[in-house]
Structure 1
Amino acid sequence: MPIPEPTLYPPFNIVRLSHVEFGVTDLAASKAFYVETLGLQVTEETEDHLCLRALEERGHHCLVLRRATEARAQYLAYKVYSDEDLDRAHDWFAAEGHPVKWVERSHQGRTLRTTDCFGAPMEFYYRMERLPPIHQQYRLYHGVKPLRIDHFNCFAPDVDAAVAFYGRLGFRVTEYTEDDASGRLWAAWMHRKGGVHDVAFTSGTGPRLHHTAFWVPTPLNIIDLLDLMSTTGYLANIERGPGRHGISNAFFLYVRDPDGHRIEIYCSDYQTVDPDLEPIRWDLKDPQRQTLWGAPAPLSWFEEGSLFADVDPQEAVLKATPIVAP
């Protein structure tokens, strides 16, 4: 099935992905994982939540951890170009039949909450509190030295529908996996900020959040993290990698937090700024699409993901068999 032409002048202007909020069942355990082990920086801490940012980020937070009885992904958030874009987004989603409401979020200006084509919660904002730069405070660099949030990856029951919907919002496809037998998409990578992706979609029961990724300086940082996790009680939290993806060409590692939320540590993808850049097609049967080199992904990587709060997932329409580690 051909990839639809991108909408280069969308109804409102999304700059990039911004942040995610996780419900976590043990805030202290989550802090130990994200702050003491991965190396994210605390920007606010209360009895009920933590706000964190990575080392190159000026916005107040890229990750919010909130105490909850169940581990859920609460929403995925995006920054828009102007305050007027928030009103345009509100009117567009309302006209399309999506629920819309203005919500209060600490350290942010007006924030719009709505849903995507599968009912997954999305939030949009323009203003977030700016913090002083810390990227040259090298005493703060520890763990895997996370520089910035890079992307979300979601299970989608219909990847073709996801590409069509997010394409209307101005997201452009950089790479995709197609099933030859059906002509349907198995997965697609879509961006706004000029990397390989701000958000990707993989065929599976969804909507569910597959992972959130953080960009790090070099592959050596990933090796350091593996040494650290393997000697500080987190060996079982290492799920997949290290290795290099065929799609995106990125060096990667996948780990699970204490609640099972999946985090990718990621570096070395490529620039995709040109609006007429042609998407790269991969065959579903090509083993190098998911792993250029390294061990194949375990079954958990294809089947497990974070549920969105108050959203019932649907089975995938594409029934295809991925390459799974023995």
Structure 2
Amino acid sequence: MPVPPPNLNPPFNIVRLSHVELRVTDLAWSRAYYVDLLGLQVTHEEAGTIYLRAMEERGHHCLILRQAAEASVGGLGFKLWSEDDLDRAAAWFAGQGLPVSWVDRPFMGRVLATRDPWGVPLEFYARMDRLPPIHQKYALYRGVKPLRIDHFNLFSPDVDKAVVFYGAMGFRLTEYTADEETGRTWAAWMHRKGGVHDIAFTNGTGPRLHHVAFWVPTPLNIIDLLDLMSTSGYLSNIERGPGRHGISNAFFLYIRDRDGHRTEIYCSDYQTTDPDLEPIKWDLKDPQRQTLWGAPAPRTWFELGSTFEGTTQRESDLKAQPIVAP
């Protein structure tokens, strides 16, 4: 499918991705994992729920952990430029025939709740409580020293249609993987904030959350985390890496918590702020697409993901297969 041109005048202005809610089955275990091991900062804690932020973030939270009977993802959050953009977003989603409601969320102003055409729960807002800066409080830094939330990656049963829909909201394509046999897009990376992506789509049964990523200062922080995980009882939670992606050029590590929620630890991608930047195309069979050094991803990376609350999944009809580690 031809790559659609970028929409430089979208119906409302998305600044960036903002936050995600993970439903977890053992909140105490998850607190130890995300706070004590990875180093996210607790901003509020109450019975059944923990709010977290990373070290450079001024907004109240980027990750919500909520106790639940079954693991799932509650929704993906995005910050808009203004209150007017929030009203324009509500009108646009309603015009697409998608559900629109206004919901109460702690520590936030007006929140628009909706879903994309595949059922992914989305939240949009313009105002979140501000907290004092902590990026120079170095005594608080621990674990992998997460600085900020960077992106979401979703399994999608139709990546081409996802690119069209999210492109209509102003997400710009930076890189994509093409299946040369069918001419269809197998994976796509799209951004608002000027990195390689705020959201990405990978072909597969979905919709499901493939991973949420956090930006860290240097590759050495990832090495330190691996040393820590391998000697403190978290060896089995390491899934893939470390390595350097061909797509995005970023240094990475993938880890999975007890409930199967996948986190990417991420740094060193490149700037994409120019509005006329042409997307980079990759062949699905290129061994450097996944990892610049040529190492393929394990099968779990292509098959396992987190379900979204209230969605029905469907299998993709694109059966093209990337290189998979034996």
TM-score by length of 1: 0.99
1:95 corresponds in structure 2 to 95
Deviation at 1:295, TM superposition (A): 3.2
Paired residues in the alignment total 326
Looking at structure 2, the residues matched to 30 and 11 of structure 1 have their Cα atoms a distance apart, in angstroms, of 38
- Displaced runs of 4 or more, over 4 A: none
2:24 corresponds in structure 1 to 24
Deviation at 1:317, TM superposition (A): 2.2
Instruction: Determine whether 1:129 maps to 2:134.
Output: no
5+ residue gaps, structure 2? none
Cα contact 2:287–2:295 (8 A) shared by 1: no
5+ residue gaps, structure 1? none
2:227 corresponds in structure 1 to 227
1:285 corresponds in structure 2 to 285
Instruction: Determine whether 1:238 maps to 2:238.
Output: yes
Cα contact 1:243–1:294 (8 A) shared by 2: no
Q: Secondary structure, in 3 states, of the residue corresponding to 1:163?
A: helix
Matches within 5 A, 1:193-232: 193-232=193-232
Looking at structure 1, the residues matched to 161 and 2 of structure 2 have their Cα atoms a distance apart, in angstroms, of 13
Q: Secondary structure, in 3 states, of the residue corresponding to 2:248?
A: helix
Looking at structure 2, the residues matched to 272 and 26 of structure 1 have their Cα atoms a distance apart, in angstroms, of 39
Instruction: Determine whether 1:262 maps to 2:262.
Output: yes
1:302 corresponds in structure 2 to 302
Q: Secondary structure, in 3 states, of the residue corresponding to 2:4?
A: coil
Cα contact 1:8–1:275 (8 A) shared by 2: yes
Q: Secondary structure, in 3 states, of the residue corresponding to 1:227?
A: helix
% identity of equivalent residues: 73
Q: Deviations over 1:142-184 (max 9, x none)?
A: 1000000000000000000000000000000000000000000
Q: Deviations over 1:43-74 (max 9, x none)?
A: 00111100000000000000000000010011
Looking at structure 1, the residues matched to 55 and 308 of structure 2 have their Cα atoms a distance apart, in angstroms, of 27
Moved more, 179-188 or 285-294: 285-294
RMSD of equivalent CA atoms? 0.6
Instruction: Determine whether 1:168 maps to 2:161.
Output: no
TM-score by length of 2: 0.99
2:320 corresponds in structure 1 to 320
Cα contact 2:287–2:294 (8 A) shared by 1: no
Deviation at 1:294, TM superposition (A): 5.9
Deviation at 1:254, TM superposition (A): 0.1
Q: Secondary structure, in 3 states, of the residue corresponding to 1:161?
A: helix
Looking at structure 1, the residues matched to 83 and 168 of structure 2 have their Cα atoms a distance apart, in angstroms, of 20
Looking at structure 2, the residues matched to 10 and 100 of structure 1 have their Cα atoms a distance apart, in angstroms, of 19
Cα contact 1:210–1:304 (8 A) shared by 2: yes
